Amino acid sequence: MGLGRYLLRKALWYIAALFVALLLNFLLPRLIPGNPVDALVGKLAQGGAGSDQLQTIYEHYVKEFGLDKPMWEQFLVYLQNTFTGNLGTSFMQYPASVNKLIGDALPWSLAIQLPAVIIGWLVGNLLGAVAAFKGGWFDRGAFVGSLFLSSMPYYCLAILLLFGFAVWQPVFPQGRAYSIGLTPEFSMPFFMDAISYWWLPFWSLVLIFIGGQAVGMRSMAIYELGSDYVNYGRGLGMRDSQMVRYIFRNAMLPQITGLALSLGGLVGGALITELVFNYPGMGSLLFTAISANDYPVIQAITLIITVTVLVANFAVEVLYGLIDPRIRATQGGDKS
């Protein structure tokens, strides 16, 4: 019952947070200066269309996109479409479906970010744990190197890798996700071509993630190594091999949170990296949508980011509640 109350309380908080996020997700794009229909009709005006024709087209698009309705009614339509899985129609790429645009961009973002997050988390935590346990020159070297990487912005490392390995020493292609003239397909020739474009964006993300995880894990492991229960255990004659299991299990709790948040932020976590490499992922799609005031695309991508972050956080709350009863007790979920 204690765990049930704890999870129910958390679920209610996250449902409330989701509703607030939906409201902000609807309002914030509309606060961007400019009218997307004006921009769309302005492009048609450059083609020499008459004023009467442009007025007709303008009224058609305003009605088509539902911008002639009151704001509250637009919000209700937005909620209805969201909960039925209809993300709308793109303004700037009309009549393209937002679902299709995201379906085309999402696999590219996942292809570079999911391996980078998982590999970076595993390698970074292993490096930080070993550095804390061994100490000495290995710890100093690993700490300085990890701190340098974790302090470097993603886009700086991306630019350095692009210049060093695609311009100065052209080992890899300079940008894009595959060669011009090819069409994405499930075939070995296309995969081999795409993987050559994949390496630089991947390394620009995984190296920085390794650095951040290593610094965090090292700090937590050093804290645990100096805690009272470790000194007490050593005083009782426990072997280091026994103590290490307890030390790093406790040190891993904040790192699990970091992994969940990183997985939750996969969609928009590499916006600048994708722009540097002209990679056709969600970051590039979001940047283009913001530039064009494309409300449906902006709303859809930010909604996906919000939902994944909330789900990741809730998963962490559930995991913590299962593995550590003290957390339930401190939040009033367990009175025993």
- Range from 2-11, 65-74, 266-275, 289-298 carrying the lowest mean pLDDT: 266-275
**Which whole-number Å values give the CA distances from 250 to 43, 203, 225, 238, 256, in the listed order?**
59, 30, 10, 17, 11
DSSP characters over 198-215: HHHHHHHHHHHHHHHHHH
Domain around 187:
107-291
pLDDT of 326 above 70? no
Strand partners, 97: 89
On the 0-12 / 13-18 / 19+ scale of CB atoms within 10 A, 315 is middle
pLDDT in tens, 149-199: 888 887 888 889 999 998 898 888 888 888 888 888 888 888 898 899 999
Q: Judge whether 161 lies within some domain.
A: yes
pLDDT in tens, 114-124: 898 889 888 98
Taking residues 210-234, report their average pLDDT: 82
Higher pLDDT pick, 208 / 334: 208
pLDDT value of position 1: 45
Q: Judge whether 156 lies within some domain.
A: yes
CATH number for the domain including 129? 1.10.3720.10
pLDDT value of position 2: 64
Contacts of 104 (CB under 8 A, 6+ apart): 280
pLDDT value of position 331: 55
pLDDT value of position 50: 61
Q: Judge whether 221 lies within some domain.
A: yes
Q: What is d(CA 320, CA 330) in angstroms, rounded to the nearest whole number?
A: 12
pLDDT value of position 45: 65
Higher pLDDT pick, 208 / 234: 208
pLDDT value of position 334: 46
Q: Judge whether 160 lies within some domain.
A: yes
Q: Judge whether 12 lies within some domain.
A: no
Q: How confident is the model at residue 336 (pLDDT cuts 50, 70, 90)?
A: very low
Q: How many domains does the chain have?
A: 1
Q: What is d(CA 325, CA 96) in angstroms, rounded to the nearest whole number?
A: 50
Higher pLDDT pick, 27 / 247: 27
**Which whole-number Å values give the CA distances from 129 to 117, 143, 261, in the listed order?**
18, 11, 21
Higher pLDDT pick, 228 / 100: 100
Taking residues 63-76, report their average pLDDT: 80
Write down the residue that tokens 């409201």 correspond to.
Answer: 23
Q: Judge whether 265 lies within some domain.
A: yes
Q: Judge whether 177 lies within some domain.
A: yes
Mean pLDDT of the chain: 80
Q: Judge whether 132 lies within some domain.
A: yes
pLDDT value of position 264: 61
- Range from 142-156, 193-207, 320-334 carrying the lowest mean pLDDT: 320-334
pLDDT of 335 above 50? no
